[in-house]
Structure 1
Amino acid sequence: MPHPDTYQRLIALFDTTQTPYRLIDHEPDGTTESVSALRGHPVSHAAKCIILRVKTDRRTTRHVLAVVPGDRRVDLDAVRRLFDARYVGFSDAATAERLAHAVPGTVLPFAFDPDLELVADPEIVTRPQLYFNAARLDRSAVISGGDYVRLAHPRIERIATPDDIGAQAPTPV
């Protein structure tokens, strides 16, 4: 189910804060590697956005939006240590869509839901240009890593590991 209000909220955020941004129209795609090729940039300049379920004890579950470079994967053990959690895993699709206000493959690197905690790997914020799907499969946005930090206020922690270690589910952006 599309979430046009999330796209509009993103554009309004850029416009009201006078943040320089660029939009790129492309064929509909939600995987980091292929959409990076469509946009014409290295995969490492993409923001890969994954929603995680973090169980800190038997009764407490938190949801975390983990943002890592497109050529990396989320280090679940690092997230577990970060939150002193018993378990960390990928959120189910319905919960991820509800919290991100976006369908899989279009999740923004912004947490617009108060129940979603935002954690970004330090490599994300150093990018001169950071690319991500703009809550749509057919349009992406580009802003600087510095502007991303200023707008999103992520918790910055090392949560990425090289993508060639182990397997991961399909890589949404």
Structure 2
Amino acid sequence: MSHHQGHVIHQRIIDLLDTHHARYRVVEHEAVGKCEAVSAIRQTALGQGAKALVCHVKGNGQRLHVLAIIAADKQADLSKLAVSLGGLKASLASPVEVDKLTGCEFGAIPPFSFHPELKLVADPLLFERFDEIAFNAGLLTHSIIMNTQDYLRITAPTLIDFHRV
């Protein structure tokens, strides 16, 4: 992924949020790879972080690419995700596939799908505990903190409970 591609995705998100009159702010910061570290820099709770996982769901005639969004303080139960989408198993996509489907580097994938073959799903727990969510926006050095209800209104993700209990 080129740095330029990340800037393109970042600007696409900003344009989308502005078009839909979303309440958000951009935070520029050093590039950090861990959810805990970036939460501290953003001054947000770990549970506000929208962690994005690019997954394959297969089986029962299903072959889907899924952008699965989950709270950063939770772990994904991929088998629960697969069954909820009518498949038998789910796995994480390779770095090459992540680049092709998102145009973003690992750790900077936003909770937005701009690829027609990448289905957006989200664990509802992410939206139940906080008024705002936070995420890297195409670049490891840029985060967006936005109103939870605005995110749901703009993206309309398929809501699936897939966090580990």
TM-score (norm 1): 0.88
Within-5 A mapping of 1:119-158: 119-126=121-128, 127-158=130-161
* Helix, strand or coil at the partner of 1:50: strand
Provide the C-alpha distance between the structure 2 equivalents of 1:57 and 1:31, rounded to a whole number of angstroms.
35
Runs of 4+ in 1 over 3 A off after TM superposition: none
Which residue in the other structure is 1:86 paired with?
A: 88
Q: Deviations over 1:129-160 (max 9, x none)?
A: 10000111111001111111111110011011
Q: Return the alpha-carbon distance in structure 2 between the equivalents of residues 9 and 41 of structure 1.
A: 24
Q: What is the alpha-carbon root mean square deviation over aligned residues?
A: 1.4
- 2:63 counterpart residue number: 61
Residue 43 of structure 1 is matched in structure 2 by 46
- Where does residue 104 of structure 2 map in the other structure? 102
Deviation at 1:86, TM superposition (A): 2.7
Q: Distance in 1 between matches of 2:96 and 2:52?
A: 16
CA drift of 1:54 comes to 1.0
Amino acid aligned to 1:42: A
Q: What's the % identity of the aligned pairs?
A: 30
| Native 8 Å contact 1:102 1:135 kept in 2 | yes
Q: Decide whether the 8 Å contact of 2:60 with 2:86 is kept in 1.
A: no
Q: Deviations over 1:9-57 (max 9, x none)?
A: 0010011111111011111123212111111121111101100011135
Letter in 2 for 1:53: H
The one-letter amino acid paired with 1:113 is H
Listed one character per residue, the Cα deviations across residues 94-143 of structure 1 (whole Å, up to 9, x for unaligned) are 10111112111110101111100111011122330100001111110011
Q: How many residues align?
A: 161
Do the aligned residues in 2 keep the contact of 1:56 with 1:62 (CA within 8 Å)?
no
Contact 1:128 1:145 in 2 (8 A): yes
Instruction: Indicate if the aligned counterparts of 2:26 and 2:144 stay in contact, CA closer than 8 A.
Output: yes
* Unmatched 5+ stretches in structure 2: none
Separation in structure 2 between the aligned mates of residue 130 and residue 6 of structure 1, nearest angstrom:
18
User: SS where residue 73 of structure 1 aligns?
Assistant: coil
CA contact (8 A) 1:56 1:83 kept: no
Contact kept? 2:79, 2:88, Cα under 8 Å: no
Q: 5+ residue gaps in structure 1? A: 163-173
1:52 aligns with 2:55: yes
Q: Which residue in 2 is equivalent to 1:72?
A: 74
